[in-house]
Amino acid sequence: MQIQKDKIVAFNESLLAEHKDSLSQLSKKHQNLDTIIDTIAAFNIAIPSWALGAGGTRFGRFGFGGEPENLEQKIEDVGVINALTKSANAISLHIPWDIPKDAEAIKSKADSLGIQFDAMNSNTFQDQENQEHSYKFGSLCHTDKAVRNQAVAHNIEVIDYGITLGSKSLTVWLADGSNFPGQLNFRRAFENTLASLKKIYAHLPADWKLFIEYKPYEPNFYSMVIQDWGTSHMLAKDLGEKAYTLVDLGHHLPNTNIEHIVATLMTRGMLGGFHFNDSKYGDDDLSVGVIKPYQLFLIFNELVYGMENNPAKNPIPAWMIDASHNLKDPLEDLIQSIEAIETAYAKALLIDQKALESAQMENDVVASQRILQDAFNTDVKAILAEARLRNGAAIDPIATYRNIDVRQELINERGMNNAATGL
């Protein structure tokens, strides 16, 4: 399905007067509001193909109807999110779940909806049908060279699929690790992983990037080969200038200072990508900003500072939502996540950086805190709404989604019982 623009415009009419009123209130207090609105209007976040269907846990999975069954339908769903928000102009694919059988047809489908192809994702955390060697005891780190070679060949195949679609990056997340002390020789596993990554890196086109994602535990519970940003950074440095660290918000132990990690990586130009989600306990993959919105704001403060003060030439990170949906309609949840990300970003853009620097240089702790909290406590809904309005999107995307009754239309089109490929 595709949302007709006139339906968005018609629903916007009912919200316009109140929105304009809130915007004029806000612009009285902030002189640089127009620049902030433009920055938010230009911001886009990639949607992963695996977040468009019902997720599940190892205990069960509950569908909700109208789920996308194939790559074309996944692209259509991202098209819906993008039509309502104009902030989601890319999809991140996962191989083998999203193998493009007809790359030209897939590309023209995406083009017609204004969708590009973000980072490609490989999968060596599951065994596929007819696969020669098992990844039960690891992939790129495996003790058996034949298994490592198979995993390298898979990643090379993923790059090749990405080339046909116009993607420019590969994200590697490894489930490799061990469940029990003594099971794995840490140093051998690290060196095997590096050697395997070197073979994948050698296949990377000149204008591509390789993102190395880390995670401290799960699915392995004693050790993970790439457990933290330091390990990812070491691997990236050894590979070369096209390799970067990727930070996933959920891939940290509780209370980790993620904004500090972001700042440190950007100091060296090594932050390549960012996966948004939120969590209470572990890698919960909850909607962005639902548990720790202040942390998200502090992260964006570092991102904004890092992009404005950038001697190491850190590229603009590849932004992606990485979440799972067990209860909510994924399209509604992804819209909520986009709004949470843009809220944190807009608030970070409101921070008076000059005043903050003066307060920091004078070691005025109280003033520093006030500057951050003044920005955080500002209601920025009108900034987001105005950014969307200028782009021809919805003032209130969730209300519009419900008003148009998108999910019912998807159920009518696709039925109640289809399940998306993925987790």
Q: How far is C-alpha 354 from the geometric centre of its chain's CA atoms?
A: 30
Pairing state between β 90-92 and 120-121: unpaired
Q: Does 396 bind Mn ion (CB under 5 A)?
A: no
What the block records as the tokens of 29 is 């207090």
Query: Which span sits near Mn ion by CB under 5 A: 57-65, 99-107, 318-326, 409-417?
Result: 318-326
> Closest approach of Cβ 232 to Mn ion, in Å?
12
Q: Which is nearer to Mn ion, 191 or 218 (CB)?
A: 218
> Closest approach of Cβ 134 to Mn ion, in Å?
23
Q: How far apart are CA 297 and CA 62, in angstroms?
A: 32
Q: Does 94 bind Mn ion (CB under 5 A)?
A: no
What the block records as the tokens of 34 is 């127009």
> Closest approach of Cβ 89 to Mn ion, in Å?
20
Q: What x-and-dash track marks residues 57-76 binding Mn ion by CB under 5 A?
A: --------------------
| CA-only gyration radius of the chain, Å | 22
What the block records as the tokens of 9 is 């415009």
Among 19, 74, 275, 407, binds Mn ion (CB under 5 A): 275
The count of C-alpha atoms lying within 13 angstroms of the C-alpha of 291, restricted to the half-sphere facing its C-beta, is 16
- Let me know: does 172 contact 139? Beta carbons within 8 Å: no
Q: Does 248 bind Mn ion (CB under 5 A)?
A: yes
- Let me know: does 261 contact 306? Beta carbons within 8 Å: no
> Closest approach of Cβ 250 to Mn ion, in Å?
7
Q: Which is nearer to Mn ion, 109 or 275 (CB)?
A: 275
Among 98, 118, 302, 322, binds Mn ion (CB under 5 A): 322
> Closest approach of Cβ 213 to Mn ion, in Å?
6
Q: Which is nearer to Mn ion, 48 or 306 (CB)?
A: 48
Q: Which is nearer to Mn ion, 204 or 321 (CB)?
A: 321
Q: How is 280-319 classified by DSSP, letter by letter?
A: SSSS--BPTTSS-HHHHHHHHHHHHHHHHS-TT-PPPPEE
Q: Which residues in 30-59 contact Mn ion (CB under 5 A)?
A: none
Query: Which span sits near Mn ion by CB under 5 A: 189-197, 288-296, 315-323, 331-339?
Result: 315-323
- Let me know: does 308 contact 263? Beta carbons within 8 Å: no
> Closest approach of Cβ 269 to Mn ion, in Å?
21
Residue 127 DSSP code: P
- Let me know: does 15 contact 395? Beta carbons within 8 Å: yes
> Closest approach of Cβ 157 to Mn ion, in Å?
21
Q: What x-and-dash track marks residues 156-195 binding Mn ion by CB under 5 A?
A: ----------------------------------------
- Let me know: does 110 contact 91? Beta carbons within 8 Å: yes
Burial of 60 (0-12, 13-18, 19+ CB in 10 A): exposed
Residues 6 or more apart whose Cβ sits within 8 Å of residue 358: 364
Distances, alpha carbon 225 to alpha carbons 137, 138, 383, in Å:
12, 9, 42
Query: Which span sits near Mn ion by CB under 5 A: 147-155, 270-278, 311-319, 370-378?
Result: 270-278
> Closest approach of Cβ 102 to Mn ion, in Å?
28
> Closest approach of Cβ 44 to Mn ion, in Å?
18
Q: How far apart are CA 203 and CA 195, in angstroms?
A: 13
Query: Which span sits near Mn ion by CB under 5 A: 31-39, 42-50, 102-110, 244-252?
Result: 244-252
Query: Which span sits near Mn ion by CB under 5 A: 33-41, 243-251, 257-265, 367-375?
Result: 243-251
Residues at the site binding Mn ion, with contacts judged by CB under 5 A: 248, 275, 322
